[in-house]
Chains A and B, each alone.
Chain A
Amino acid sequence: MSTQVAFKMQVAKDSAGQYAGLPESDLITLAQQGDEFAFEALYRRFARTVYTVAHHMLGNHHDADEVMQEAFIRIFKNLSRLRSPQAITAWVYQITVNLCMDFRKARTRSRWEPLEGDEDRHSHFELATARWVRNPEQVLENKELLTHITAAIDSLPEQQKAVILLHEVEGVSKKMIAEILDCSLVTVRTNLHHARKKLRRKLLRYLNA
């Protein structure tokens, strides 16, 4: 590696480090002016949120990765239209959720199945429970439980699914969910209530265990 390239990389790292401490409003302004480091800092700030939501909604890494890349390209492409920097979190969620919904619709239409099958869908559950489950039989039971949870979530209509995952898993407020899904607060509450009741009915066996 030449000295010049190493120097450039060091400058980039230092700049990225400096940008990481800036407030979102400043990052947005800089990114709107075309500052590449500001784009990267915004990516680092929201990447995990976007990836997590996409993973929850789509159930596997490859789809979540694809949606995340597309989401960030759209976010950066349309950043100049963002009027209020305070709205960026809701806006990022909105783009991600809409992309996930479109992705699932396209997948349903083309009847495409993930090549990796159930392996990837369930691997994260093992990771999540590995900390507190050591018994192999219990791991198997938990796999079965995860299959049922995933099936129950997948059976929900898209909007109910988005509402319950954002609220129960991501901890997003109902007001923000209304902004994200561009609907009224009453609709969010109704969807949440229906989704909870449906899930409770489907998972009753495990709830009473």
Chain B
Amino acid sequence: MNEKIMNCFEIEEHLLDYVDNELAGSMQQVVAEHLQACLSCRKEVESYRKTAMLLQLRAVPEPPERYWDESWEKIRAGFKARVLPLAEKPLGVPPRSLRLQHVNWRPLVGVAAMFCIIVASALLWSWQSRSREIAAVAPQRIYMNPTPVVTVGRDDNFSDDMYRQMELVDAGRAAFGSIDPISKSVMLVRLEADRK
């Protein structure tokens, strides 16, 4: 009994292909032999065939002959109105304007937008990495040069003139980001020399 059930399960997988005659020769034979012995599988095959027959019952009525002529006239008029006058302009090579109308612009616009985004991202990344490089190099150059310690508070050793110069340096830093450390060192050394 178990063997029969297993066989039926296995056979069921192939029943629809059997109905369509799409099984390999040997398998078609195996299923045919099984169907001879198994009533339930045979009923199933019959039910598929009957379903197909029921669908074919939905026959489409043949319209009267004049319908096809009237329909052709409508199609002809619609085609002339919407596309091109028949026979007046050949369709083989459509004019440039018509060819452009057929172009689907949406994917092209998408690709162009993607290209712009990629280029903008690349430019931004290169600018940022360049800034990082400068920032990485700058401290080394500061340490290589003798830079005097600038006190935060008021120092009596510095004249008002010097403070004005230093404020200028701070203002420059605020305006342009970091000031060139070499120039800064030179400026501070000169200030120190003036003081002395």
**Is B54's beta carbon under 8 Å from chain A?**
yes
Evaluate whether A146 and B58 lie within 8 angstroms (CB atoms) in the complex, with A69-B78, A73-B75, A73-B79 already known.
Answer: yes
Minimum Cβ distance to chain B for residue A202 (Å): 9
Interface SS of chain A: helix, strand, loop or mixed? helix
Q: Verify A206–B58 contact, CB threshold 8 A.
A: no
**Is B90's beta carbon under 8 Å from chain A?**
yes
Which residues of B in the span 100-129 have a Cβ within 8 Å of any Cβ on A?
none
Q: Verify B58–A73 contact, CB threshold 8 A.
A: no
Which residues of chain B are near A56, meaning CB under 8 Å? 58, 60
Expressed in whole angstroms, the Cα–Cα distance for A165 and B60 within the complex equals: 12
**Is B153's beta carbon under 8 Å from chain A?**
no
**Is B168's beta carbon under 8 Å from chain A?**
no
Q: Verify B79–A76 contact, CB threshold 8 A.
A: yes
Minimum Cβ distance to chain B for residue A44 (Å): 7
Q: Verify A69–B71 contact, CB threshold 8 A.
A: yes
Select the residue from A73, A150, A169 with max chain B CB neighbours within 10 A.
A73
Q: Verify B55–A169 contact, CB threshold 8 A.
A: yes
Q: Which among A69, A127, A200 is the interface contact of B74 at CB below 8 angstroms?
A: A69
Which residues of chain B are near A47, meaning CB under 8 Å? 68, 71-72
Minimum Cβ distance to chain B for residue A69 (Å): 5
Expressed in whole angstroms, the Cα–Cα distance for A129 and B71 within the complex equals: 27
Select the residue from B20, B55, B92 with max chain A CB neighbours within 10 A.
B55
Q: Verify B51–A199 contact, CB threshold 8 A.
A: yes
Expressed in whole angstroms, the Cα–Cα distance for A145 and B89 within the complex equals: 52
**Is A115's beta carbon under 8 Å from chain B?**
no
**Is A24's beta carbon under 8 Å from chain B?**
no
- Identify the closest chain A residue to B84 (Cβ): A34
Q: Verify B83–A76 contact, CB threshold 8 A.
A: yes
**Is B48's beta carbon under 8 Å from chain A?**
yes
Q: Verify B58–A150 contact, CB threshold 8 A.
A: yes
Expressed in whole angstroms, the Cα–Cα distance for A83 and B113 within the complex equals: 32
Q: Which of A3-11, A35-43, A84-92, A99-107 contacts B (4 or more CB under 8 A)?
A: A35-43
Contact mask for chain A residues 26-56; partner B; CB cutoff 8 A; 1 contact, 0 none: 0000011111100110011001000110011
Expressed in whole angstroms, the Cα–Cα distance for A56 and B75 within the complex equals: 21
Q: Verify A80–B58 contact, CB threshold 8 A.
A: no
Q: Verify B82–A80 contact, CB threshold 8 A.
A: no
Q: Which among B84, B89, B92 is the interface contact of A32 at CB below 8 angstroms?
A: B92
Q: Verify B91–A32 contact, CB threshold 8 A.
A: yes
Subset of 26 A-B contacts with CB under 8 Å? A32-B92, A33-B92, A34-B89, A34-B90, A34-B92, A36-B76, A36-B87, A40-B72, A47-B68, A55-B60, A56-B58, A65-B71, A73-B75, A73-B78, A73-B79, A76-B75, A77-B79, A80-B92, A125-B57, A125-B58, A129-B57, A192-B16, A199-B54, A200-B47, A207-B46, A207-B50
